[in-house]
Structure formats: C-alpha cells, structure tokens
C-alpha cells in the first residue's frame, strides 16, 4: 500500500516527467531533420548528415531525461547517471580517440567549402580527384586510376592544395635559346604563339630571361588560362610547348641541347691507314 500511495501522490510528477521527456524527444527529431535539411546543400555525404542528426537527437533527448529525473526528485539517481556517463564517456573516448579524430575531421572537411567531391587536390604526397568523404577517410582517385584512402585527420592536419578553388590557372613554361639568337625576336615570337591560341588575359603574358646557362640563355614564359575542365593545366602546358617549338622552327630560332665533347689521350683516329697499323 505504501508503494501504491507513493504512486498516487507522485502521479502528477510522473505524468509531467513523461510529457517533458517525450516533448524533448519529438523536438529533437524535428530539429534534427530541420538542421539536416539546411546542411544538405553544403554537406553532400549522407553518412555525415546522419551523424549530425543523431548527435542532435541524443543531446536533446539526454537533456529531456535529466529534466524528467529532476521533476521526479530523483537527484541521487541523476547524479549517479551523470557520473556513470562521464566515466563511460572518458573510457570510450580514450579507446577510440583515433576514430573520433577522423570523425571530427571528416565533419570539418564536409562543412567547410575547401574540399568537395570531384575537386582535384594534392596532399600528403598524393594528387587526384576526391571521390568520397566519409566519417573515417577521404578517397582520392589519382590520374593513373589508383584509389588512395587517406584518414581525415591526415588531411586536416597537413597542408593541401585544391586546384579546383580557382577558375584561373597560371601556366609556366621554362626553356632556352641559343646564344646567337635575337632575344627581342625570341620574346615577340613566343608571346605571339601563346596569344594566338590562348587569348584569355592576353595582356598578362609574362616573358623573362632568367639566366645564362651552359648551352642556352634560359627564359620563362607565364600566362593564364580558364580552368574549365579536368587536366586543363596539363593540356595547356603541353599545347604551349608545341606552339613555341613550331614558332621557333619557323623563325629559325635554335633551342639548344647540351653537347658533351670527349677528349682522349692519345687521340682516337678512324682513318683506314691507322686501323691497318
């Protein structure tokens, strides 16, 4: 009878505690769906959206449980629950700290706009297109069609270069011409070859003679292109080399190559008489 009397006396508190708990649970579900909908245009990975929604639901539901226990005057049980959750959380955190590090790094990479699916990036000695970002790792497909799997924290904690963040790319060509060349003519011919095929920002084509080399006067040519497709930089560099070589050939401008002269002692002779001797 004492249990029944206690139940009758505390029935309003029990009902209020249940109402608070389920109200927080329903609110957590709705808020989770709302935030997932707001983040979906920026976060393309379903696994990370699910994780964010689950985390919001768990936090708000736990808060509702704490308030419900407070309404029931179960302070001792509440303190024990909080202490147990703290110890369990510490133990789990120490056991899976590497996984948690990758998880938070994956969430950070997904929320920021620095790396996206199909971007061409270079990091940790690998370069390729991003094909997936999940809670543990980021997958990169290299130009030779190999799939590289990198833990998220290695990308987040190290420098990376994203070639897809800009629409303009600068192409740099290094070459050299013979010492007998008319250098002003060399500059004019090289610039015209590039301007005729790459008109984008033609006023910013730069040409500089860099040094006196062993067999050539070295120069560097720089120009901009629109990064509108994959491998745009590689294709543009290859095309520019062909154009410069063709233009120099038409104008009889020599691109020298190193020549090695070997001197022997005594000198080697190839005349028939000396061979017979």
Q: Whole-angstrom Cα distance, residue 122 to residue 75?
A: 55
Q: How many helices (H) and strands (E) does the chain have?
A: 8, 8
Mean per-residue pLDDT over the chain, rounded? 78
User: 10 Å Cβ neighbour count for 55?
Assistant: 12
Helix axes 46-71, 97-111, angle to 10 degrees: 110
Residue 268's pLDDT is 61
User: Residues 186-206, buried b or exposed e (16+ Cβ, 10 A)?
Assistant: bbebbbebbeeebeeeeeebe
What's the whole-number mean pLDDT along residues 152-168?
81
Q: Residue 220 — very low, low, confident or very high, per pLDDT cuts 50/70/90? A: very high
Q: Whole-angstrom Cα distance, residue 239 to residue 170?
A: 14
Among 95-99, 116-120, 175-179, 267-271, the range with the most confident prediction by mean pLDDT is: 175-179
Q: Which domains does the chain have, with CATH numbers?
A: 2-95 (1.10.287), 116-162 (2.30.30.60), 168-250 (3.30.70.100)
Contact by Cβ (8 Å): 175, 237: no
pLDDT 10s digits, 225-259: 877 555 677 888 899 999 999 999 999 999 887 76
Q: Whole-angstrom Cα distance, residue 220 to residue 86?
A: 62
Helix axes 46-71, 2-39, angle to 10 degrees: 150
What's the whole-number mean pLDDT along residues 157-175?
83
Which of 119, 201, 132, 194 minimizes the C-alpha distance to 161?
119
Which of 158, 154, 125 minimizes the C-alpha distance to 137?
154
Burial class (CB in 10 A: 0-12, 13-18, 19+), 225: buried
pLDDT 10s digits, 188-200: 999 999 988 887 6
């Amino acid at each position: 009878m004492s249990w029944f009397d206690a139940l009758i006396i505390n029935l309003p508190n029990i009902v209020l505690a249940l109402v608070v708990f389920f109200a927080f649970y329903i609110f957590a579900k709705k808020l989770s769906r709302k935030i997932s909908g707001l983040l979906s245009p920026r976060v393309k990975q379903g696994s990370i959206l699910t994780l964010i929604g689950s985390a919001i639901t768990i936090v708000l539901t736990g808060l509702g449980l704490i308030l419900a226990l407070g309404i029931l005057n179960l302070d001792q049980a509440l303190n024990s629950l909080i202490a147990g959750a703290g110890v369990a959380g510490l133990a789990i955190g120490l056991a899976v700290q590497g996984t948690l590090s990758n998880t938070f790094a994956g969430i950070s990479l997904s929320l920021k706009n620095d790396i996206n699916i199909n971007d061409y990036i270079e990091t940790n000695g690998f370069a390729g297109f991003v094909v997936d970002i999940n809670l543990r790792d980021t997958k990169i497909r290299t130009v030779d069609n190999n799939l590289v799997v990198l833990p998220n924290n290695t990308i987040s904690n190290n420098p990376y270069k994203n070639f897809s963040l800009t629409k303009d790319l600068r192409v740099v060509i290094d070459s050299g011409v013979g010492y007998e060349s008319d250098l002003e003519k060399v500059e004019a011919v090289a610039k015209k070859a590039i301007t005729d095929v790459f008109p984008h920002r033609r006023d910013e084509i730069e040409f500089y003679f860099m040094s006196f080399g062993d067999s050539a006067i070295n120069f560097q040519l720089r120009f901009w292109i629109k990064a509108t497709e994959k491998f745009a930089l590689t294709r543009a560099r290859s095309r520019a080399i062909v154009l410069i070589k063709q233009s120099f050939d038409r104008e009889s401008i020599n691109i020298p190559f190193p020549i090695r002269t070997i001197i022997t002692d005594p000198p080697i002779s190839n005349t028939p008489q000396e061979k017979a001797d």
